[in-house]
Chain A
């Protein structure tokens, strides 16, 4: 079982991103859960959302305390939240940042394995808005292969429909190719 925690700010689509990855996994015949950190939602406040993906039925309703993978949608979160909290040994942090991996490691003292992509830049190019949730899914899949990138198309189309889905798919695809 792989446990994923997504950090973002209210309104950036952290919850949507976990739902989309779970839907893709379920469509592949796997088992998955996606859930928010339960409670009232406030735009702009730091939020977390969670997903579990497994080959067998998932028998837990605990919160995710020890994620295998942490995805950070918003680089400013690093200044206020310890995104590596509880991260499993050999866990992976996937960051939206315009900086290099070395620069981020130095600035925030992150020792865990890391993948980086300038998701804000990619999202601005394709969507014209700094909403990085679907872009970061490209990075997540590139760095982990947790689902097949093609499995994202149906959930994205069903969620956003028409041209907006297409823009999100291109943003995701570019991040998939550019993640380091």
Chain B
């Protein structure tokens, strides 16, 4: 029987990597991710996890070690945040090209400057296009489950791509809450040992990561694109199988009270729980509002999104990052683009909130919905709106 325990969410991420029997962890501590790797180093030192723990000198090295280890056939885990993720940037592109199924937890945090250790999604949105599968957790239970699921998907012979599991730094990572922890033997019924298709082995030399001449580069990049798009069916299949084993059901897009809704709020991450409370409050006041949440962000679940908002007239999309000089936050622009030409009546409005740890409240979600309704009545709104910004 799974154990229901009170646990800091960071530690649940480590426990998941442990229950998945990771072979190698290479990581560098950075707030607010530090507790994850700290706990993993304890688990290895205490003999609870039989893995190589490589305490590297930077995140660039962490991800480089992970690529090498995964190429050698080891089940590989790491975790980082913010500036650390940014420092990994150049290697992040290489991991999918080498078909290394690394699992990385990102405790989402703002990027400098000014220096901020607090939560938003600017770190992950800057790595949106690196060719990794990307999921977002809402609570501690989901963090644990998504890490297990990530290994299952990444190592599937049809996929063999790396995955980032995102969780909100501090707002989720540093919260103690009830979580059902699966043991290694329970996880092993779902997650089988990693069987690499091709490994770096001195006895059987192969080249991984050669130069891509103009004659092959396009095809190599197309391969990653096709694999990433094709991974969605494996992502969904692995969630269905997860549900059969452990009873918790996950989908690429989650909906809440969307039936009969005129307006839908779109969110990602842990603030979705606050948004649910806001939706309940607004429904009581007679506002016909529902909620849609992205759990899967890459590959972008376009069909699921379309289904979730069918018949809705107004969307209020929340972002946790600014796209400087762009046309609004990344979630907003992608949602609007995905739905372009779907229905002449649909109006989509963007809101950026909760930058660098600014608290997102239920009242703020209600403001977003009310603003979107007002703009829709007028038939126009601002390019996007930065909630609560003080201009003087």
Tell me the A residues contacting B by CB distance below 8 Å.
Answer: 18-19, 22-23, 25-27, 31-36, 38-40, 58-63, 65, 155
Contact between B357 and A38 (Cβ–Cβ < 8 Å)? yes
Contact between A61 and B176 (Cβ–Cβ < 8 Å)? no
Contact between A35 and B117 (Cβ–Cβ < 8 Å)? no
Contact between B273 and A26 (Cβ–Cβ < 8 Å)? no
What are the residues of chain B within 8 A of A25 when measuring CB–CB? Answer: 6
Alpha-carbon distance A33/B179, docked complex (angstroms) = 11
What are the residues of chain A within 8 A of B170 when measuring CB–CB? Answer: 35, 38-39
A38 and B118 in contact (CB under 8 A), knowing A19-B176, A61-B270? yes
Alpha-carbon distance A169/B4, docked complex (angstroms) = 24
**Total A-B residue contacts, Cβ distance less than 8 Å:** 73
Contact between A26 and B6 (Cβ–Cβ < 8 Å)? yes
Q: Is the interface of A mostly helix, strand, loop or mixed?
A: mixed
Most B C-beta atoms less than 10 A away, residue of A34, A38, A61: A61
Instruction: Tell me which of A23, A33, A60 contacts B274 (CB under 8 A).
Output: A60
A61 and B172 in contact (CB under 8 A), knowing A32-B178, A40-B117? yes
Contact between B270 and A34 (Cβ–Cβ < 8 Å)? no
Residue B362, interface by CB 8 Å: yes
Most A C-beta atoms less than 10 A away, residue of B118, B176, B357: B176
Residue B43, interface by CB 8 Å: no
Contact between A23 and B362 (Cβ–Cβ < 8 Å)? no
Residue B339, interface by CB 8 Å: no
What bracket does the count of chain B residues touching chain A fall in? 20 to 34
A–B complex contacts, Cβ < 8 Å, 26 sampled: A19-B6, A22-B6, A25-B6, A26-B178, A27-B6, A31-B177, A32-B6, A32-B177, A32-B178, A33-B177, A35-B170, A35-B174, A38-B118, A38-B119, A38-B171, A40-B117, A59-B277, A60-B273, A60-B362, A61-B168, A61-B270, A62-B274, A62-B359, A62-B360, A62-B361, A65-B361
What are the residues of chain B within 8 A of A22 when measuring CB–CB? Answer: 6, 176-177
**Residues of B163-196 contacting chain A, CB below 8 A:** 168, 170-172, 174-178
Residue B200, interface by CB 8 Å: no
Please name the residue on chain B nearest to A27 by beta carbon. Answer: B6
Instruction: Tell me which of A19, A26, A31, A63 contacts B359 (CB under 8 A).
Output: A63
Alpha-carbon distance A160/B340, docked complex (angstroms) = 58
Most B C-beta atoms less than 10 A away, residue of A18, A36, A59: A59
What are the residues of chain A within 8 A of B178 when measuring CB–CB? Answer: 26, 31-32
Alpha-carbon distance A61/B119, docked complex (angstroms) = 12
